Amino acid sequence: MTKLIVFTDLHMVPEGTTIIGLDPYQRLLAGIEHVNRHHADADRVIFTGDLTHRSDAASYARLRDLLSLLVPPAAITIGNHDHRDRFLETFARVGTDEHGFVQQVIDFPDCRAVLLDTLFAPPYDYPLSHAGYLCERRLGWLDRTLGGAGGRPVLLFMHHPPHKTGFSGMDAIRLGNEDAFYDVVLRHGNVRHIFAGHVHRTIGGSHRGIPFSIFKSPVHQQPMPFDTPDTSLSVDEPAAYGIVVVTEHGLQVHNEDYEIAGREVAVA
Which pLDDT does position 128 carry in this prediction?
83
| pLDDT exceeds cutoff 80 at 64 | yes
Asked whether the predicted pLDDT for residue 262 surpasses 80, the reply is: no
Distance CA 67, CA 24 (A): 13
Q: What is the pLDDT of residues 112-137, one digit of tens each?
A: 999 999 999 999 988 888 999 999 99
Average pLDDT over every residue of 159-168: 96
Q: Are the beta carbons of 75 and 47 closer than 8 angstroms?
A: yes
pLDDT band, very low/low/confident/very high, at 229 (cuts 50, 70, 90): confident
How high is the pLDDT of residue 78?
98
Q: Which CATH superfamily is domain 3-256 in?
A: Metallo-dependent phosphatases (3.60.21.10)
Going by the DSSP 8-state scheme, the letter that residue 102 receives in this structure is S
pLDDT at position 267, please?
Answer: 66
Give the pLDDT of residue 203.
97
State the pLDDT at residue 39.
98
The span from the CA of 238 to the CA of 222, in Å, is 12
pLDDT at 265 over 70: no
Instruction: Output the average pLDDT for the chain.
Output: 95
Give percent above pLDDT 70 in the chain: 97
Lowest mean pLDDT among 14-18, 192-196, 231-235: 231-235
Residue 164 has pLDDT above 90, yes or no: yes
Sign of the four-CA dihedral 82, 83, 85, 86: negative
CB 46 within 8 A of CB 7: yes
- What pLDDT score does 228 carry? 77
> What does the pLDDT average to over 48-67?
97
Walk across the sheet containing 210-214 and list its strands. 104-108, 111-115, 154-157, 191-196, 210-214, 203-207
Percent of the chain clearing pLDDT 90 (strictly above):
88
Residue 230: per-residue pLDDT:
78
Helix axes 136-147, 178-188, angle to 10 degrees: 20
Angle at 226 between CA 224 and CA 229, to 5 degrees: 110
